[in-house]
Amino acid sequence: MPPVRVLIVDDSVVVRKLLCDALASAKEIEVAGTASSGVIALAKIPQLNPDVITLDIEMPGLNGIETLVEIRKLYPKLPVIMFSTLTERGAAITMEALSLGASDYATKPSNTSSLTNAIDQVRQELVAKILSLVARRNRAVPTPPPVSPAKRAAGNQRIDILTIGTSTGGPNALLSVIPHLPADFPVPVVLVQHMPPLFTRLLADRLNACSELSVREGEDGEAIKPGEVWVARGGYHLTVARKGTRVVLNLNQEPPENSCRPAVDVLFRSVAATYGPNVLGVVMTGMGADGARGAMHIREAGGWIVVQDEASSVVWGMPGAVVGAGAADKICPLPELCQEIVSRVRASRGQASGVAAAVR
């Protein structure tokens, strides 16, 4: 199988060299070329025919956002990974890039003690993302390993909480669901989106600005209630636990799971332990398998699991892993996912099923 061809676009000679060195050790990847500006990148794309582009955000002339817009006009399916700084401004522009069609993002190394550490950090984050995006583009999504199907506890109890896990492609997928939940949605929502600090707060702010429900980053010790959506804070696992008559959020910095913190598995386990069968879990687009074991915990406790389908996912790793584990009750296209959620929650609570009217 030919190596994945990558075009590196960055105005910094140092960063271009760093990326070339980081990708050089991955035998599945070939650096097809580099470009020091958006204009040069646009000229090189038809010459080099790359499979993936890494795109700097802040460049003179055509900046990363403007270059991305032009790439999407000319090459709507070409995967583009934004390469941004872990700063307030970098995070904000990255969120804008994702909304404009960027496939994913990676953060530039910070607080590294050596060039070797910086190269290792970039390699660990970037190689897997490049390979996953190309696999998705070529429809060569790896089949999850066979696992004994998760059994469900008996019963058909009402749903008292909605919990969601997502990663690559998640910000846009969440924008197709959370803003369309009705103002009278009768249960709280807790979710994990794989993102670093700053990014998760900006994601919560973006969702909150266009939603009828209140959307905020998770706060340690905060009680949850219907009409609220809580986003796991970057760098912290999010869990729920009963405290008297309330259910509260807990944040911790225990070791990453599935190389992630926050991790979907951590949240899903705690939701299953706290709510038993009264859970609806949703796993959306994302790289890797985080959420599969947690989904099995929810199902074994008697709860329900819905996953996003392959066709509408940027990467079908996470939802595909749930399906492979036999833990999915339904596979749903993204445009139908919100309606499926509202219908299931209301039906379980004996409410009128006016789903079409409820979902804007």
Catalytic residues: 167, 194, 290
Q: What angle do CA 211, 217, 89 make, to 5 degrees?
A: 90
Peptide bond into 262 cis (omega under 30): yes
Candidates 266, 258, 262; CA nearest to 289 is 258
* Reduced DSSP (H G I as helix, E B as strand, rest coil) percent helix, strand, coil of the chain, to 5: 40, 20, 40
Q: Are 193 and 166 in contact (CB under 8 A)?
A: yes
Instruction: List Cα–Cα distances, 338 to 60, 175, 280, 334, in angstroms.
Output: 41, 10, 12, 8
Helical H runs in the chain? 13-24, 38-48, 64-74, 88-99, 115-137, 170-175, 199-209, 264-275, 292-300, 317-324, 334-348, 355-358
Spatial neighbors of 351 by CB under 8 A, at least 6 apart, are: 186
Q: Are 272 and 311 in contact (CB under 8 A)?
A: no
Q: If you search the block for the tokens 């789903």, which residue do you land on?
A: 355
The span from the CA of 113 to the CA of 130, in Å, is 26
Q: What angle do CA 67, 70, 73 make, to 5 degrees?
A: 150
Element (H, E) at 6: strand 4-9
The span from the CA of 236 to the CA of 343, in Å, is 32
